[in-house]
Amino acid sequence: MAAILDTLEAWIADGLTDPREITKKHIEDALEPLRGDQARRLHTALRSLFRALKRERLVFRDPARGISLTSSRSVPTALPSDRVAGLLDRLDDPRDRLMVALVAIYALLPGQLVHLQRTDLDRSRGQLRLRRAGRMDHFIYLDALTLRLATAWELQRHRRWPDSSNPHLFVTRNTAVDDCGPPISAGVVQQLFQRVGLPAGRLRVDRIVDEARHSADPVRLMELFGLSNLSATRYVLSAHPERQSGPLAP
């Protein structure tokens, strides 16, 4: 039960609030950090969930059908440093540079980028607040690079749309002047990372795995990335399989 709740929370945080939006790819990504009994338990729970939803006609297809653990992806590994290095140099737009930095450095979910508010960014304190439905807000502390990127984006936004009342941190030329103040679409984020050449989800996993390799401490992962205890433990075990039967803390 804990495994599937953790997965559902991650999907909701990513803006996937309708079970009909879940695809085979989402399920494969949820299974990606797991191995052994953990993977089998989540796989079985997801199969049962979507069979029940389909039986109740709440979904029209079962995205978990046809997925086998033998064909799911292996334990995630960090991307080669040469693929990560220079990501920001490929981009000119301050908004795009800040969005990529928040994923590559702080492992934000695409849905979190979409729904960030301007008031969530406190540059004087070097903080960014991540709102989480039904849970306490998570605060991340920004490094000097990210703060410079945030300042550059705010300056550009003010120059281009000085009268914009859109409360969201990230806007486009259309949403900036929309009096309804809508968030940017998920497609804007997807297209950005397509241009970069690395999916946002892949960058997020890489960042967390990299931290897990260095610290091997689930508590640190929880503090840095706002992960649940279960997710943090999974990443540590993925990065350090030799600790499967030993203590997790260094």
* pTM above threshold 0.85: no
Q: Has residue 129 got a pLDDT over 80?
A: yes
The 10s digit of each residue's pLDDT in 86-120 is 788 889 999 999 999 999 999 999 999 999 999 99
Residue 47 has pLDDT above 80, yes or no: yes
Residues 58-68: pLDDT tens digits?
Answer: 888 888 877 76
**CATH homologous superfamily of domain 79-250?**
Intergrase catalytic core (1.10.443.10)
What are 146-174's pLDDT values in tens digits? 999 999 999 999 999 999 999 999 999 99
**What's at 45, amino acid-wise?**
A
User: Using an 8 Å Cβ cutoff, are 10 and 234 in contact?
Assistant: no
> What are the boundaries of each domain within the chain?
1-74, 79-250
Give 65 or 21, the one with higher predicted confidence: 21
Helix 229-239 and helix 218-225: axis angle, to 10°?
120
The answer to whether the CB of 127 falls within 8 A of the CB of 141 is yes
Residue 80: the pLDDT is 59
> How much of the chain, in percent, has pLDDT values that exceed 70?
86
Contact 115, 168 (CB under 8 A): yes
Determine the pLDDT at residue 68. Answer: 66
